[in-house]
Every structure is written in structure tokens, then in C-alpha cells.
């Protein structure tokens, strides 16, 4: 695919969930690079952060639920009124995100939103003649590593939550369509994101820890030695841009872990990094287990480096400082408000 470099026809990318934490940052990056962007979102967490884009000549917004069979087609029809070319690709981000939110909506609804919607959006994308479909999966699919070795895309999956299970089912559907569909599916298993976005989330571990250390001066930590994998939101945005541009033979039906080895940290190590910038923080440890998303894995990113030449540029300390800068600025009046989290349950 060509990039939207302003020379010739603009590339048209549709983002489902484009009003979300990742989607709103991706929207900004695509517009900046000259793409035409259509966002389809039902605005579960509000949509004010889309305001700067709404009057942009290369932007179209369609408020809809992607579980409806014609949501993508209707959004593309609306965008055509702005004179844009046919659809080039879809980045499917809409989902019930995280194990607490999935638990809140229940098994049937989580399955409908996170699995059935993928089939509905993919089939429309294929029918519309778009050439690429990027799916945002998660490294939660690995759950707990059996042998303690870094997990690769070929490792056995041990999801510990409904959220992880729904993402695996969606991946399986897409891989099943990879051989014969005109549209090429590409799956990224993202590490846990951190850092600033137009739609801020303070329920993601690093963002939440910085908020609590900054606002309460105290952190409560469970499973301190469990290993997790983290990635800066802008590194993910750049990974998605690369996914849109990579040659089709390198991505069709492929799964890539998206992140980097230097984002593999235990919670205790994250905490130490936060305490370096906020040294007054008091820490309380509790070693309980809970029926949530118990992840204890180190992730290998050898495949994405080798096949797509993808490397992250930012470190966890950069994200900590970014989030701290936002909090210190005072622009967010009540960062503990529900609008900045996907569910109430907050055990991290």
C-alpha cells in the first residue's frame, strides 16, 4: 500500500474503536501522515477527544455499533460523500477491553463483542474490496508461561481470562480466512500499553501506578514478581502504521507479538522505576491470587524484529515521565473519574 503522502490519491483507513485510547492516538497519526481516516465507534467512553478531528477534511466519523451487519458499509458510504477513494484497510480496535470489563458484561456479550463482531467487520471489509485487516489481540492469550521461557507466537496458549479466550477465538477465525479471502488479515498481540492519549486510560498498570503514586503517595501491589510486558502507545501506533505498509506476503495471516524485550518487567521493577521519580511513594505488598487475568510471562519479539524490522523507540521511564507531566499540568480535573477507566475492578 502507498502511504498517504499527499502525492496522488489518499489512502483510506477505517478504524473501529477509533475513539478509544489507542484508536484516538492512531487517528491523529494517520491524519498527520495524510491518510483519509474513517472512525466507527459507539462511544462507550465518550467522544469529546475526537473534537479536533471532526472538521478535518480527511476525517469522517460514524457513530455505530460494529456488531451490526452494515456498520462498516454505512461508514464508508458516508465517507464517500467527502470524495474519498475506496477503502484500503481496516484497523479493528473496537472491543470490550480487559478482563474486568469482559467480566462485567458477561460471557455471552463479551463473545458477541469480541468474537462475533470480528467476523462481521472482517466480512464487510472483504466485500468492500479492502486489502488489509489489522486485528488488535493481546499477549494475555499466553497467560502463564509453563516453562518460564519467553513466549513466542508459536507457544501454547494458556489464557487466564474470558478476555484472553475471546481474543484467541477471534484470531482463529481470522487465520481460518487468511488463505482464500481477498483481504489479508494481520494479527498483532499487543503488550500492555502505557503513555498519553487523547482518550486517557488510568486503568492500565503503568498509568494507574503513576496516578496513584502521584495523587495518593501510596501503591498497593499484588503478585509483585509476576512478569508482564509493556509497550508505549506511540510505539504501538508506529507498529500499526508499519502493519498497514508492509508487503502483503510478509503479513497475510501472520501473528506478531508487538512490543520489545526491554518492556518485559515484573511489577516490582515498574514500581522501582516509579519510586525513582516519586521517591516519597509508600508501597504495600499483598500476595493474594484472584480470579482475574493472571499473567506471568516474558515475551519474545524476535519475529517482528526479524520479519518486519520493527523496533520500539521508547522506554517505560519515558511513559512514566509523560504521564507524570500530564498529571502535574492539572489539565485533567478528576483523573479517578470513571471516564478514564473501562471497568471499576482495579486489581493490577
- Site of interaction with ligand NAD (CB under 6 A): 16-17, 19-23, 41-45, 65-67, 93-95, 97, 113, 117, 136, 138, 190, 192-193, 199, 201, 204, 342
Please, which residue, 10 or 66, has the CB nearer to ligand NAD? Answer: 66
In the chain, beta strands by DSSP E: 12-16, 36-41, 59-63, 89-92, 132-138, 184-190, 192-194, 218-222, 227-232, 254-258, 264-266, 282-286
Cα–Cα distance measured from residue 146 to residue 135, given in angstroms and rounded to the nearest whole number: 26
How far apart, in whole angstroms, are the C-alpha atoms of residue 68 and residue 89? 19
Alpha-helical (H) ranges within 112-265 are 117-127, 162-177, 205-215, 233-245, 248-251
Question: If you search the block for the grid coordinates 501503591, which residue do you land on?
Answer: 219
Tell me how far, at minimum, the Cβ of 46 lies from ligand NAD, in Å. 8
Radius of gyration of the chain (CA): 19
Instruction: Write down the least CB distance from residue 231 to ligand NAD, Å.
Output: 8
Indicate the residue among 150 and 198 with the shorter CB distance to ligand NAD: 198
* Least spacing, CB of residue 194 vs ligand NAD, in Å: 8
Q: Which position has the grid cell 500476595? A: 287
The smaller minimum CB distance to ligand NAD, of residues 206 and 327, is found at 206
Closest CB to ligand NAD among residues 4, 259: 259
Closest residue to ligand NAD, based on beta-carbon distance = 20
Of the pair 76, 93, the CB lying nearest ligand NAD is at 93
Smallest distance from ligand NAD to CB 241, Å:
15
311-344 burial code (b ≥16 CB/10 A, e <16): ebebbbeebbebbbebbeeeeeeebeeeebbbbe
Q: How far is the CB of 197 from ligand NAD (least distance, A)?
A: 8
| Cell numbers placing 180 | 482464500
Cβ 2 to ligand NAD, closest distance in Å? Answer: 26
> Quick one: 10 or 13, whose CB is closer to ligand NAD?
13
Amino acid at each position: 500500500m502507498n502511504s498517504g503522502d499527499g502525492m496522488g490519491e489518499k489512502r483510506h483507513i477505517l478504524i473501529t474503536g477509533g475513539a478509544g485510547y489507542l484508536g484516538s492516538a492512531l487517528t491523529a497519526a494517520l491524519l498527520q501522515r495524510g491518510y483519509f481516516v474513517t472512525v466507527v465507534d459507539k462511544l462507550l467512553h465518550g467522544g469529546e477527544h475526537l473534537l479536533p478531528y471532526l472538521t478535518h477534511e480527511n476525517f469522517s466519523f460514524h457513530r455505530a455499533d460494529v456488531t451490526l451487519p452494515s456498520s462498516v458499509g454505512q461508514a464508508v458510504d458516508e465517507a464517500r460523500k467527502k470524495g474519498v477513494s475506496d477503502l484500503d484497510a481496516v484497523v479493528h480496535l473496537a472491543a470490550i477491553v480487559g478482563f474486568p470489563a469482559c467480566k462485567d458484561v458477561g460471557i455471552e456479550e463479551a463473545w458477541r463483542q469480541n468474537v462475533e463482531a470480528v467476523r462481521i467487520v472482517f466480512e464487510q471489509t472483504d466485500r468492500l474490496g479492502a486489502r488489509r485487516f489489522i486485528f488488535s489481540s493481546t499477549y494475555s492469550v499466553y497467560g502463564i508461561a509453563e516453562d518460564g521461557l519467553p513466549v513466542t507466537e508459536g507457544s501454547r496458549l494458556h489464557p487466564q481470562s474470558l478476555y484472553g479466550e475471546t481474543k484467541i477465538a477471534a484470531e482463529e477465525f481470522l487465520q481460518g480466512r487468511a488463505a482464500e479471502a481477498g483481504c489479508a488479515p494481520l494479527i498483532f498481540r499487543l503488550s500492555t500499553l502505557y503513555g498519553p492519549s487523547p482518550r486517557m486510560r488510568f486503568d492500565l498498570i503503568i498509568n494507574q501506578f503513576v496516578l496513584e503514586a502521584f495523587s495518593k503517595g501510596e501503591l498497593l501491589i499484588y503478585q509483585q514478581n509476576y512478569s508482564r510486558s509493556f509497550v508505549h502507545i506511540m510505539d504501538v501506533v508506529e507498529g500499526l502504521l508499519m502493519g498497514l505498509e508492509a508487503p502483503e506476503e510478509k503479513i497475510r495471516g501472520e501473528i506478531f507479538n508487538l512490543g520489545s524485550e526491554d518492556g518485559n518487567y515484573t511489577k516490582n521493577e515498574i514500581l522501582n522505576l516509579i519510586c525513582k521519580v516519586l521517591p516519597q511513594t509508600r508501597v504495600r505488598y499483598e500476595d493474594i491470587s484472584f480470579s482475574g487475568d493472571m499473567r506471568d510471562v516474558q515475551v519474545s519479539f524476535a519475529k517482528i524484529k526479524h520479519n518486519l524490522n520493527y523496533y520500539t523507540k521508547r522506554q517505560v521511564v519515558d511513559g512514566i515521565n509523560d504521564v507524570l507531566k500530564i498529571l502535574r499540568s492539572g489539565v485533567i480535573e478528576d483523573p479517578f473519574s470513571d471516564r478514564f477507566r473501562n471497568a471499576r475492578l482495579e486489581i493490577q
